[in-house]
Amino acid sequence: MDITLARPAGSARLTCLALAAPLWTTVALAQAATRDGFDLTRHPLSALGTGSLGWVQITNFVVAGVLVLIGAPGFGGAVSRLLAVYGAGMIAAGLLPPDAGDGFPAGTPAGPPSALSWHGYGHLAAGSVSFLALMAACYVLGRRFARAGNRRDAAFSVLAGTALLLGNAWAMSGGRAGSLTLAAGVITAMLWISAVAVRSR
């Protein structure tokens, strides 16, 4: 696939971008499956940044964000700028972990925290900005593909962005298993960006 990138980056730069989503997804889901008390239908993946092992997910966010920042220039134009915001948002979301709540980490009282800390607010803000930038990047890529006559990848781009949009909206509305739909949307959009980076090398 060739989407005629404005300023083709080196292979190493695009490789960094391609690795970001698989790395983040693998580390996050491995923790989700093994950390005591974590339930993906109730807890967002960012909650893994809390507790004694929280440093693993914090590092996961920061490393993935750095990889995105390194690779973002490979797409050129608006997509590069949006991916840079997405990567910076991931780093900030990692360094500003959410508050413990709803029974995780194990031993935490049920229900949401009674009050959010400053870093809890920061995490929500960083995550929201990062999600919006990632969604927008998918939609802008879709427009690029459509202009190039590549209807299949234009559709995939729009679907990836919409998966994140709907997953986030459902989670924000308090819908059942919202954290699961959010995770599915985030991972879908992230992996699509990585797939485009791989195929653009």
- pLDDT per residue over 47-94, tens digit each? 999 999 999 999 999 999 999 999 999 888 999 999 999 999 999 999
Question: Domain range holding 191?
Answer: 11-200
**pLDDT at residue 3, rounded to an integer:** 47
Residue 6 lies in a domain: no
> Mean of the per-residue pLDDT values for the chain?
92
Residue 36 lies in a domain: yes
Q: Distance between CA atoms of 152 and 163, rounded to whole angstroms?
A: 16
Residue 119 lies in a domain: yes
Residue 164 lies in a domain: yes
Residue 85 lies in a domain: yes
Residue 2 lies in a domain: no
Q: CA neighbours within 13 Å on the CB side: how many for 135?
A: 16
Is the overall model pTM greater than 0.85, yes or no?
Answer: yes
Task: Work out how many domains the chain is built from and give that number.
Answer: 1
Q: Distance between CA atoms of 54 and 68, rounded to whole angstroms?
A: 21
Residue 161 lies in a domain: yes
Query: Is the Cα dihedral 70, 63, 30, 99 positive or negative?
Result: negative
Residue 3 lies in a domain: no
Q: Does 136 or 5 have the greater pLDDT score?
A: 136
Tell me how far the alpha carbon of residue 54 is from its chain's centroid: 17
Instruction: Tell whether the model's pLDDT for residue 171 goes beyond 50.
Output: yes
**pLDDT at residue 111, rounded to an integer:** 79
